[in-house]
Structure 1
């Protein structure tokens, strides 16, 4: 498997001297599970948090927490400053043109629903089409289905190969119908690890004047994302998958599009003036941030991005890619183990089945060995249907994982194999 073309992977040993130090920054990793040292390989579901993030959230609640934007007292001013500083950190991390293009939500799911409800509210009608791919997470399927039910539009799906690579010719053919009003695709598949050619997919859509939303939930922690270079119209991701707190997400949108969209929710802080006769909405980004937000969570997200920047995203990506190659080779030695998703460009996760063992049984047995993986359909049931399996087991890697942990995983899977033979 080749490395993502945007990266220049470093030799593993150039990263390894820092690995022990980095692991110490994650207090949860020091515990034992069922008497065994924790091996946490469920990072595609949610990644663990470094001390900097935990401290940032604790400091907010311990020293300066208050509601933001509305208060004139010192605590409110401090909270507001920290909250808006986090917005600037996010803006710089994905290279958005303005902080007004950064909308805080509860997660990728809400970000996509926001676009489906607001952008999609008056732009779609019977006969229109929304194009997605066959490897989408449910969060990038169901909101569009709901929009289609409301408007009479039709959902179209671009297929992918057995290796888990999008069929570009089919994607382009579907774009050529003349009826596609939005394209939405996952940047990295949570079920397969496939890194989709985002720039190419966006260019193909834009050549036909079709706006594009990218689900970046799995991408931002594993490869550099520059929304201006991609030229995407919307980009969505979650804090908890990039070392930050849960309950926080980001929607990037081009300013002109966001300004033209109606609010997603009504309430406090998204208004300029309210009377019983009419309401005037606030400017971006407040227009889309109704109510009291997850203040400490947003501040924690800012701390997470600062932490990742301090380690170096490309260094982390190179380390993860080395782990992916190592794990893929070791797992391939186990008879009856089948890896699902072998795309040439792939992120650091391995989904697999093992002959004779249900994925849930695999996950349960590995848990007794102190190893945390994910077992199930990964909120991507159409992907499972594509391969004719009910579920897979999935091991996914992060900055703090090591080759030794891969060895623990492989040894435990040999035990599973022996148990079910």
Structure 2
């Protein structure tokens, strides 16, 4: 989904979603209207339609161990809402339905928090629910979510009790990041705001101007020792000092070049991945870079990249590009070790790694496992029939996916 950027009469930035037809024209990741909404497939498949899935002999058995529903999901809002796992619990939110904590092994609900508006004037509005769109993020004993109205809500991770609330100037469509004694919130106007984790008091904020057109979605900030790393909609990655938000370096991952605003879209919407001192960042403009995180020095660049989160294996990075091709990249050089083109135009999620397999979800609710060594298909299961937009999450050998209707499904390899 594409979103356009415009100024309101007061000078603030607001976001509006572009038409589906524009999306179909501009993004092979969005493919076609059919690619997003589904529909019957024809034998004479057209080049713009999602690739038909073909049969193969599975080489690994996958068990579906539980499934639950967290509430009314994002549907077509395009925020790529997914779960987070911490301390043996899965935390999930839905646009309407609140925040849930589930046991990772069984899917049993531990607690459920439903946000309410305290102001009577707000409670009397027709839309009484707080629409939770960003998150959850978890860490340091907190679970934090954001809303389409810019509310930030921090909960006790053990009990679900509300600890504090705060406000940012724009919708929050990525998960807040918790750590270093603070909560870092990325809002959709290009601002990162740091709140004190204990009190919710604002410590600092930093803003970067966003382009006229961008891909709908934001990656979460990534924390390193003394740093906050932020992927921006203009194709750059920024390092900020975690203590005060002071910029320390920035680096272009992809150049926003081209004749039109559509051509120039270079968003970094997948959360940057930090391993040791190396930061891996990928762009919608099909570029991935490895960066020395403390200095901002580029180490290598690859011509394969995507808008979703990178999957990290011991020797490889897994990336799904906007056209639906999945690549296994060498972590030391960025060269493509293999590619899997058989999921073209299936509007893939970001990637994850489960055991010896790369995993992505698609627009039709399918989860695909590929061998890390070759990219060959190893297994395929269905988590319902709704699109899987958020990257899968893996913890303790269990993989969890969340679809756009708020359904969560957990899988384990045998």
Task: Report the TM range for the smaller structure's normalisation.
Answer: under 0.3
Larger RCO (CA within 8 A; separation ≥ 6): 1
Would you tell me which structure has more strand in proportion to its own residues?
A: 2
Bigger radius of gyration, 1 or 2?
1
Kindly indicate which of the two structures has a greater share of residues assigned to helix: 1
